[in-house]
Amino acid sequence: MLAAVLALAACGGGKATEVPKPTEAPQATEAPTEAPKATEAPKATEAPTEQPAEGEKVQIRWFVGLGTGTDPEQQEVQQQVVEQFNKTHDNIELILEVVPYDSARDTLSTEIASGNGPDIIGPVGIGGSNAFYGQWLDLTPLIEKTGFDTSIFNEELVKFYQTEEGQVGLPFAVFPAAVFYQKEMFDEAGLNYPPQKYGEKYVMPDGSEVEWNWDTIREIGKILTVDADGNDASMAEFDPEHVVQYGYYPQWQHPNHMAAFFKAGSLVAEDGKTAQIPEAWRAAWHWYYDGIWKDKFIPSDPVVASPEFGAGNAFNSGKVAMAITHMWYTCCITDAGEHWDLAALPAYEGEVHGRVDADTFRIWKGTQHPDEAFEVLTYLLTDEDAAPKLLTVYGAMPALPQWQEAFFQAKAEQYPWVENWDIMKAGLNYPDIPSAEGWMPNWNEAWDRVGAFGSLMANESGLDLDKEIDKLREDLQVIFDKASGQTPAAATPEPTEEPAAEAPATGEKVQIRWFVGLGTGTDPEQ
């Protein structure tokens, strides 16, 4: 039964993934503009004040909207899970709240600020959760109290959710990364395929064995980049103005993601307020920039945007030999032909540094019912019926090993020519800790500023890149400083009380203040 359920996900039974923009982190699902009501969210001012009487069910609210889960088909499955939970639990009533993606963050902010936050939030990724950094419950006491066995998960994935505030999540849906490559392009160039396992060397055309690292990617990437006359980028005759095939592309990677594949790091120092650029990230950006404008084996943004190269989906065009991206990319690769396969990620300075995109459910730290919320959380993560249904409709790879075989069996039926799905399983051993999408002050503005830097690299040649990187750090410091002393624990501001105003004298007008700025209304005409 599990194999059949997961097969639907692999074959596109649900709306699994939105095609992301090249410089943005992908969203798991395109949210509809108006989601059908599963259960109307209670008003933010209606915070519960009384504990349920003995024998009454504890109400646990499950908030969906910060990531995937808002699609009508997904809502239907989520409601089925809620109904099944309520039938089998006498002590808890689970209530589903689905909020459209575009308004979910504002809605959740209001609920939390009023002290009426939901108990369970998710599925949500690392990036989506950062808007509420400091609001997630440390699960460690509940894990110890209930004896929940975290060893059922990959140890590295458990560590992935450990922050200075504790164990703020547990693995559920995971999207490891690998090298996607076109076998026929390697065959035509007389090149051996990339390593099929971690730790293997790469065999060059002359028979020599070299480390599979970013220098090797560059060297063979140039050989795999071909102009209209058949010359490759390693030849003096190569014409970079008429390229018909490129050697490599960082498929839908934000600059943070590119950098994390060199080495995990953070743009904010340990003090939580000082901007920094890890040296490995500087090296990664130089490698990428030189690959576009100097070595000519990586396409620029204008090339990627062209219809000839996929109109934004470069590897899918069938004209790129290698790309690094995640498991979720299998949603969007239908035009890449039937000769692509998967290989190991390259090393940097002798070590592999991977990335894992991941969604899970979290508990709000202000919940009045942590024990019951944890019971719901573990049900969603591990129940033999509920979890596979959710993973299927989310189009996600299971974190639990016992469900992965059925998932990959379904993927093999969808893409029968792919031989190395095992490399995706192995990729779970290389999560980015800390996450490339980790918290920093003023997270959204900071993330966008780095994205703009990525766009600059992909569009303009002749830059003094070190100068631009230094300017990025300076701009990030300004953005961080605007957080006004914000610390991770205070990422979601608490409402402040206005000083009590004196009642107007008889006959005086009462002043009513109308605040505009959280949405539309700031345009001069408006």
Let me know if the fold of 2-137+364-399 is the same as that of 175-354+434-481.
Answer: yes
pLDDT tens digits, 225-282? 999 999 999 999 999 999 999 999 999 999 999 999 999 999 999 999 999 999 999 9
Res 498: pLDDT = 42
Q: How far is Cα 526 from Cα 508, in angstroms, rounded to an integer?
A: 30
E strand intervals along 146-273 = 162-163, 166-167, 173-182, 202-203, 209-210, 226-227, 243-249
Q: What's the mean pLDDT in 104-120? A: 96
Task: Between 34 and 518, name the one with better pLDDT.
Answer: 518
Judge whether residue 294 has pLDDT over 90: yes
The structure tokens 């459910």 sit at 361
Helical packing angle, 443-459 and 279-293, nearest 10°? 30
Res 483: pLDDT = 87
Shortest CA distance to 104 belongs to which of 115, 90, 87, 117?
117
- Tell me the average pLDDT of the chain: 87
Confidence of residue 46 (pLDDT cuts 50, 70, 90): very low
Confidence of residue 164 (pLDDT cuts 50, 70, 90): confident
pLDDT tens digits, 48-78? 445 666 678 999 999 999 999 999 999 999 9
Confidence of residue 495 (pLDDT cuts 50, 70, 90): very low
Q: Which fold has domain 175-354+434-481?
A: D-Maltodextrin-Binding Protein; domain 2 (3.40.190)
Pick the CATH number of 2-137+364-399 from 3.30.1380, 1.20.58, 3.40.190, 1.20.120: 3.40.190
Q: Label residue 171 left, alpha or beta by phi (over 0 means left) and psi (-120 to 50 means alpha).
A: beta
Q: How many CB atoms lie within 10 A of CB 144?
A: 9
- Angle, vertex CA 140, rays to CA 134 and CA 146, nearest 5: 135
CA distances from 271 to 332, 364, 469 (A): 40, 24, 21
For 401, phi and psi rounded to 5 degrees?
-55, -35
Res 501: pLDDT = 45
Q: What's the mean pLDDT in 387-405? A: 94
Q: What's the mean pLDDT in 24-28? A: 37
E strand intervals along 286-387 = 320-326, 340-343, 347-348, 351-352, 356-363
Judge whether residue 491 has pLDDT over 80: no
Task: Between 34 and 157, name the one with better pLDDT.
Answer: 157
Domain layout of the chain by residue ranges: 2-137+364-399, 175-354+434-481
Judge whether residue 131 has pLDDT over 90: no
DSSP-derived letter for residue 237 is: T
The residues pairing with 213 across neighbouring beta strands, listed in sequence order, are 347
pTM value? 0.80
